[in-house]
């Protein structure tokens, strides 16, 4: 089931009405109800994979109890290793088996060996990358003794499968979400108000901005795959830039829109989810970008991969190695395809280069070192490498990427003029809101308006979705991960 499907509002209305009727004193019954609702939510997509979700839940619940009860460090290491290997094996089989088999066969054929390796038509369970990392955070943190194991199987099952963030995050830590599940929730007026804002803003970003930007991007990237006669270019002038820019707007509004909706739903239910996006297109450099983009993933990779690899505690060369390796694996997490690996590796190189420059300077600069003009200069300049990264992840081949990078000019064709006009027409609300959020340093600044202003804002967003929202629901981009 998707947030932007026509059936979801009815589903949530029923879930919410029963949830409120049960009351916070019966929060364990509320948990059981939310667990059932979460399995229904996931089962609507494909009930065959409910067993995988249940298997991961049962395995890590039992391992968590064993980890907490044992003082034998060798046994505890074997148990946490079992959890990691079991979860990553399931993830690897469903997500990466076909990719590695095809890549191996292609390599062997290139060096002269005729390879006929077995292939399988494997359906990727939606959200498996998200809930795998989420449940791993539990067993690893219990192993590290950073949190106690829980004896509440229903509560733990809800932590793994909670429907607002089950299929596309944010990737919640057990140490953060599980205590909220195992205690009564307070639904305050502040939570409801901010939850409704996040819901409206998330749906607006998805249906009005992301889906229209996707139309522009998809048509141009599709044209760039056509095989035309020699001397005939599928794109001209500013059209390659327009294609990448449209995708950049699409992926941000699509994914951050989903995260906003998830956080909004959670607030209405009395929960607090991790902030997943913090104005990433105002980043001044690579490290700043990853402190703002998909925060739940970047911090997960930092805490459970980068630091265990040694982080920045070893030699300078090892620090650079760790930074690059973590980003390359982060790219692989996004998808079983070379564009994702190259995209992650590209960002790894950017982070290493930034670190080399900072090490040469001998100190980490802050905003005061640059001033307002310097800050905005860095923001604008960083858009160049960022757009190149977006082109890497969107292009279907190296040839298409090279074409996009080498066929840029300042000529404004009719198609480019129409495409830029479409982007401007639908994205100006995003620009205004995010400029206000950036300068106020307050992501909830729209809620600081007077009552009349807030009412007008909500009315405008709802009317905007009714008039301009894409009628046929478009799947969220990150569902494929």
Q: What pLDDT does 474 receive? A: 74
* Same structural domain, 389 and 454: yes
Residue 235 inside a domain? The answer is yes
Look up the pTM and report it. Answer: 0.91
Whether residue 62 is contained in a domain is answered as yes
Cβ-count burial 85-116 (b if 16+ within 10 Å, e if not): ebbeebbeebbbebbeeeeebeeeeeeeeeee
Residue 148 shares a structural domain with residue 295? no
Residue 1 lies in a domain: no
Mean pLDDT, rounded, of the chain? 88
CB-based burial label for 348 (10 Å; 0-12, 13-18, 19+): buried
94: confidence class by pLDDT, cuts 50, 70, 90: confident
Question: DSSP characters for 382-434?
Answer: HHHHHHHHHHHHH-SSHHHHHHHHH---S---HHHHHHHHHHHHHHHHHHHHH
Q: Is residue 108 part of a domain?
A: yes
Q: Return d(Cα 373, Cα 363) in angstroms, integer.
A: 21
Q: What is the pLDDT of residues 273-282, one digit of tens each?
A: 999 999 999 9
Q: Which of 103, 404, 135, 361 is nearest to 246 (CA)?
A: 404
Q: Are residues 80 and 210 in the same domain?
A: no
**What is the per-residue pLDDT across 103-134, written as a single tens digit (0 to 9) for each?**
555 555 666 666 555 555 555 677 888 889 99
**Do 336 and 289 share a structural domain?**
yes
Q: Which of 117-121, 292-296, 459-463 has the lowest mean pLDDT?
A: 117-121
Shared-domain flag, residues 474 and 363 = yes
Q: How far apart are CA 39 and CA 53, in angstroms?
A: 9
Q: What pLDDT shows up at residue 104? A: 58
Tokens of 390: 């977006």
Percent of the chain predicted with pLDDT > 70: 90
Q: List the one residue out of 198, 206, 229 whose CA is nearest residue 446.
A: 198
Is residue 28 domain-resident?
yes
Q: 406 Cβ partners below 8 Å, 6+ apart?
A: none
Q: Mean pLDDT throughout 210-233?
A: 82
pLDDT digits (tens, 9 = 90+) for 143-180: 999 999 999 999 999 999 999 998 877 999 999 999 99
pLDDT at 475 over 80: no
457 belongs to a structural domain: yes
* pLDDT tens-place string over residues 399-408: 888 888 888 8
The domain boundary residue, chosen from 185, 204, 238: 185
Tell me the torsion sign for CA atoms 368, 369, 372, 377: negative
Domain membership flag for residue 442: yes
Question: Could you read off the pLDDT of 350-392 as tens digits, one per residue?
Answer: 999 999 988 887 766 666 667 788 889 999 999 999 999 999 9
Give the span between the Cα atoms of 93 and 90, in whole angstroms: 5
The more confidently predicted of residues 98 and 299 is 299
Whether the CB-CB separation of 276 and 295 falls below 8 Å is answered with: yes
Among 185, 216, 243, the domain boundary falls at 185
Residues with catalytic roles: 334
Q: What is the pLDDT of residue 117?
A: 52
184 and 27 in contact (C-beta within 8 Å)? yes
Q: How far apart are the C-alpha atoms of 98 and 94, rounded to whole Å?
A: 8
Q: Helices (H) and strands (E) in the chain — how many of each?
A: 19, 0
Q: Which residue has the tokens 């600044």?
A: 445
Helices (H), 183-315: 189-204, 211-223, 239-268, 286-290, 295-301, 307-309
In a domain, 2, yes or no: no
Q: Are residues 201 and 323 in the same domain?
A: yes
- Two tokens at 417? 């003029």
pLDDT at 399: 83
Q: Which domain holds residue 417?
A: 191-480
Which residue shows structure tokens 């980003």?
327
Q: How many domains would you assign to the chain? A: 2
Q: Are 31 and 158 in contact (CB under 8 A)?
A: yes
Binned at pLDDT 50, 70 and 90, residue 45 comes out as: confident
411-422 residue pLDDT tens: 888 888 999 999
365 and 348 co-located in one domain: yes
Distance CA 68, CA 384 (A): 49
DSSP 478: G
Say if residue 431 is in the same domain as residue 370: yes
**Within this chain, do residues 199 and 172 fall inside the same structural domain, yes or no?**
no
**Are residues 178 and 37 both part of a single domain?**
yes
**Residue 128: predicted pLDDT:** 85
Examine the domain organization and report whether 207 and 144 are in the same domain.
Answer: no
Domain stops at, among 185, 216, 234: 185
Q: What is the pLDDT of residue 389?
A: 95
Q: Say yes or no: 158 and 238 in one domain.
A: no
- Pull the structure tokens for residue 15: 């879930």
Residue given tokens 């449209």 in the structure block: 246
49: tokens are 């994979």
Determine the length of the chain.
481
């Amino acid at each position: 089931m998707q947030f932007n499907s026509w059936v979801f509002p009815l589903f949530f209305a029923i879930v919410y009405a029963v949830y409120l009727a049960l009351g916070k004193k019966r929060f364990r019954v509320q948990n059981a109800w939310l667990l059932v609702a979460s399995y229904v939510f996931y089962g609507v997509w494909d009930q065959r994979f409910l067993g995988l979700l249940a298997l991961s839940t049962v395995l890590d619940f039992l391992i968590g109890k064993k980890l907490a009860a044992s003082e034998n460090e060798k046994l505890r290491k074997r148990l946490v290793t079992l959890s990691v290997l079991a979860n990553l094996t399931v993830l690897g089989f469903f997500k990466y088996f076909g990719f590695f088999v095809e890549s191996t066969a292609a390599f062997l054929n290139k060096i002269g060996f005729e390879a006929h390796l077995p292939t399988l038509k494997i359906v990727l369970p939606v959200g498996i990358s998200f809930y795998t990392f989420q449940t791993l955070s539990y067993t690893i943190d219990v192993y590290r003794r950073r949190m106690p194991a829980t004896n509440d199987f229903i509560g733990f099952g809800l932590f793994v499968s909670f429907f607002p963030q089950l299929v596309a995050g944010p990737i919640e830590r057990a140490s953060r979400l599980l205590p909220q599940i195992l205690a009564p929730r307070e639904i305050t007026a502040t939570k409801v108000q901010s939850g409704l804002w996040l819901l409206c803003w998330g749906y607006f970003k998805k249906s009005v901005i992301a889906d229209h930007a996707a139309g522009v991007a998809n048509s141009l990237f599709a044209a760039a795959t056509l095989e035309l006669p020699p001397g005939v270019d599928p794109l001209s002038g500013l059209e390659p830039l327009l294609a990448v820019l449209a995708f950049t707007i699409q992926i941000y509004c699509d994914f951050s829109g989903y995260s906003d909706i998830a956080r909004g739903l959670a607030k209405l239910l009395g929960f607090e989810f991790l902030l997943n996006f913090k104005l990433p297109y105002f980043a001044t450099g690579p490290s700043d970008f990853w402190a703002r983009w998909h925060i739940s993933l970047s911090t997960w990779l930092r805490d459970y991969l980068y630091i265990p690899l040694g982080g920045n505690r070893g030699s300078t060369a090892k620090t650079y190695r760790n930074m690059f390796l973590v980003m390359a694996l982060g790219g692989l997490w996004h998808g079983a395809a070379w564009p994702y690996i190259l995209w992650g590796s590209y960002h790894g190189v950017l982070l290493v280069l930034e670190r080399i420059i900072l090490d040469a300077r001998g100190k980490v600069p802050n905003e005061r070192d640059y001033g307002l003009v310097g800050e905005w200069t860095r923001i604008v300049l960083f858009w160049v490498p960022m757009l190149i990264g977006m082109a890497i992840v969107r292009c279907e081949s190296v040839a298409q990427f090279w074409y996009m990078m080498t066929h840029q000019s300042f000529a404004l064709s009719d198609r480019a003029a129409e495409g830029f006009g479409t982007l401007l027409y639908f994205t100006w609300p995003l620009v205004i809101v995010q400029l206000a959020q950036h300068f106020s340093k307050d992501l909830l600044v729209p809620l600081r308006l007077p009552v009349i202003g807030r009412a007008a804002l909500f009315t405008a967003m709802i009317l905007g979705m009714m008039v301009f929202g894409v009628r046929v629901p478009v799947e969220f981009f990150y569902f494929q991960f």
